[in-house]
Amino acid sequence: MVFLFRDKSIVNIFFLVVLSIVVHVHFLVAAPLIETNTGDGVFSLLLRNYLVGIPQALLFVIYHMIVLFQAIRLNMVLSEWRMFQNNTYTTAMAYVLLSGIMPEWCVISPALIANFLLIWIFIKLTRLYNHPSPKTLLFNTGLIIGLSVICYHPTAILIGVVLFALMVVRPFRVAEWVVLLMGILLPYYFLFGILFLNDDLYHFSSFIPYLKLNLPVAAWSAPLIIRLSVLVIMLISGLVFWQLTHRRMVIQIRKTWGIMMVMLFVLLPIPFIFRQAGLGSAYLTLIPLAAFSANAFSTPRRLTLPNILFWLAIAVLAYNNWVMITK
């Protein structure tokens, strides 16, 4: 099945749609749920106020459209920067495939919406290298991050990713760091002003991320261990093939992959350090997971290993769908 996505053709979009429906076939029985947490940002408020109560068929369409748009957009970005040897749709395929590995990811949640902002931030970071107007780009990037934190608090961890990217991609200049920090703080400055003028300043603390070490799961189970094991296997396989081609890449592409690597390791602890984030917040890691896993699907000349990984994921997805349909 992997060969269907190793071409760069408009037909691959149709295959992605079919794959998304197969991955989430349980939605044909019950529409995706809307899951929000109190005090994790504006996205939760918007989902509760505007999506709760709408027809289930519309929720089905909304979820698939979000996942497919994010998958195709990420695939386009990586292809644009020539981060793979060949232009394929394997990144989009990996994104759609992994979106159903964890049942907590099969819902409409703030983390699902926040991935739009993560892709946008990554696009901004890829343009830092030799950009003619770095201060403008850095300010806009900081502005997006500040808005992201207000919309979904766990994205605050991306501040570390941006600081690392600025440190690695560009030579140190105090003015650029100040401009970036100004962009991050500006949304909070306006938020403070609006709340102050409306005499609602006591709500300001609810827009500040709250860090607290915790375990995202109450107890380990065999299905959970298998799901996580599949994610690890696909990631390690992708990293192995990525390492084989990494040395032949130009400096700019190496640095872009370095940003993606930092994003992966920075996003992984989110369920453990944000209060009430849960495993659903780990959906943010889907962007770097799909990017690195795609190497295992697009790089090997023989399709034996890619097909094994594909059907291994399908086996887990089949079990997940069976559980969610019968419960």
Cα first-last separation, the chain: 30
Range list of H helices, 127-221 = 134-151, 158-169, 174-197
DSSP state of 81: T
Structure tokens at 274: 């944000």
Q: What is the pLDDT of residue 75?
A: 95
| CB-CB contact of 213 with 274 (8 Å) | no
- Assign 267 a pLDDT band (cuts: 50, 70, 90): very high
| CB-CB contact of 292 with 239 (8 Å) | yes
Structure tokens at 126: 């890829």
Structure tokens at 17: 């749609």
Cβ density class 142-160: b for 16+ within 10 Å, e for less:
bbbbbbbbbbbbbbbbbbe
92-96, 271-275, 321-325: segment of lowest average pLDDT: 271-275
As a whole number of angstroms, the distance between CA 28 and CA 25 comes to 6
DSSP state of 32: P
Structure tokens at 218: 């109450």
- Assign 134 a pLDDT band (cuts: 50, 70, 90): confident
| CB-CB contact of 31 with 57 (8 Å) | yes
Please enumerate in sequence order all residues whose Cβ is within 8 A of that of 124, keeping only pairs 6 or more positions apart, or say none.
137, 140, 141, 144
The mean predicted confidence, pLDDT, of the chain is 91
Is the pLDDT assigned to residue 247 strictly greater than 80? no
Q: What is the pLDDT of residue 82?
A: 86
Q: What is the pLDDT of residues 286-325, one digit of tens each?
A: 999 999 999 999 999 889 999 999 999 999 999 999 999 8
CA distances from 24 to 101, 281, 319 (A): 10, 19, 11
- Count of C-beta atoms within a 10 Å radius of residue 177: 15
DSSP element (H, E) containing 305? helix 304-326
Q: What is the pLDDT of residues 16-44, one digit of tens each?
A: 999 999 999 999 998 899 998 888 889 99
Q: What is the pLDDT of residues 114-123, one digit of tens each?
A: 999 999 999 9
Pseudo-torsion of CA 89, 90, 95, 98, nearest 10°?
A: 150
Radius of gyration of the chain (CA): 20
Structure tokens at 253: 């592409």
Is the pLDDT assigned to residue 2 strictly greater than 90? no
As a whole number of angstroms, the distance between CA 112 and CA 130 comes to 32
Phi and psi at 211, nearest 5°, equal -95, 135
DSSP state of 34: B
CA-wise closest residue to 284 among 114, 161, 147? 114
- In 3-state terms, what secondary structure has residue 274? strand
- Assign 218 a pLDDT band (cuts: 50, 70, 90): confident
In single-letter form, the type of residue at position 201 comes to L
Q: What is the pLDDT of residue 133?
A: 80
10 Å CB burial of residue 215 (0-12, 13-18, 19+) is: exposed
pLDDT higher at 53 or 162? 162
Average pLDDT over residues 156-184: 90
Q: Which residue shows structure tokens 């298998």?
A: 226
